[in-house]
C-alpha cells in the first residue's frame, strides 16, 4: 500500500529541504521522499518511455532520490533559492538516472548487434536529433564545461524546455534569458568544432 501523500505549502516544502540538506535531518528527508516520490515516478515514466528504458518507475525514482541525497550537501543549498529550483534538481536527477541506464543499455546492445551508421547529418543537427543515444550523450556531456552547459543540455535538448521555463527553474545559473541563449550558442559552436562529433556526422 502506498504511503499517504503529505501536502506541503511552498514555504513548508522549501523549509523541509533546508532541514534535510543543511541540518542533515533524516526525518525531513523521509517527508520529502513521501511527498515527492510520486512526482519523481511520473518523471521517470516519461523519461524512460522516451529512451526505451526497461526499468520500473519506482526503482528509477528511488535511484534518483539516492543520487540527490548524496549530491545535495549543506554547502550547495545556497544554489537553490526556491522550492521550484530544488524540484527542478530532483527532476534532473531522475533524467540523469534514466540516461545513465539508457547508456548502459545501448552499450550492451551494441556489443551484440551491428552499429547502424547514419549519413548526411550536420554535427549540430546530429547532437539535437540523437542526444538521447548513450554513446553520443557521453561524448556531448564531456564537451560541456560548466554547470550551466550541463543543465542546458538536459533541460533544452533532452527535456525540450523553452528558455523561459529553464530560467525560472534555474535562476541561480541563468539570471536572464540572454544568459541561456549565450550558453547555448557557445556550447553548440564548440560541439560543431569537436572532431569526434564531426566523424559521427559523416561516418
pLDDT tens track for 32-64: 999 999 999 999 988 888 767 778 889 999 999
CA distance 126 to 128: 6
CATH tag, 1-116: 1.10.1740
Residue 201 banded pLDDT, cuts 50, 70, 90: low
CA distance 91 to 71: 13
pLDDT given at position 132: 47
pLDDT given at position 70: 87
Grid coordinates given for 11: 514555504
pLDDT tens track for 129-172: 545 455 566 667 777 778 888 888 877 776 677 787 777 777 88
Task: Kindly state the average pLDDT of the residues 77-102.
Answer: 87
Domain ranges of the chain: 1-116, 118-203
Amino acid at each position: 500500500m502506498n504511503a499517504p501523500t503529505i501536502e506541503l505549502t511552498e514555504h513548508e516544502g522549501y523549509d523541509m529541504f533546508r532541514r534535510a540538506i543543511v541540518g542533515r535531518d533524516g526525518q525531513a528527508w523521509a517527508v520529502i521522499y513521501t511527498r515527492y516520490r510520486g512526482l519523481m515516478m511520473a518523471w521517470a515514466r516519461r523519461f524512460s518511455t522516451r529512451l526505451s528504458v526497461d526499468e520500473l518507475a519506482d526503482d528509477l525514482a528511488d535511484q534518483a532520490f539516492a543520487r540527490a541525497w548524496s549530491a545535495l550537501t549543506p554547502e550547495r543549498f545556497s544554489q537553490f533559492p526556491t522550492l521550484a529550483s530544488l524540484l527542478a534538481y530532483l527532476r534532473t536527477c531522475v533524467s540523469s538516472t534514466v540516461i545513465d541506464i539508457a547508456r548502459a543499455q545501448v552499450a550492451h546492445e551494441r556489443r551484440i548487434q551491428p552499429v547502424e551508421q547514419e549519413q548526411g547529418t550536420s554535427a549540430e543537427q546530429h547532437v539535437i536529433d540523437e542526444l538521447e543515444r548513450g554513446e553520443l550523450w557521453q561524448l556531448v556531456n564531456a564537451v560541456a564545461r560548466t554547470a550551466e552547459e550541463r543543465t542546458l543540455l538536459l533541460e533544452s535538448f533532452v527535456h525540450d524546455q523553452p528558455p523561459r521555463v529553464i530560467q525560472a527553474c534555474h535562476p541561480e545559473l541563468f539570471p536572464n534569458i540572454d544568459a541561456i541563449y549565450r550558453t547555448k550558442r557557445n556550447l553548440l559552436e564548440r560541439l560543431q568544432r569537436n572532431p569526434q562529433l564531426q566523424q559521427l556526422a559523416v561516418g
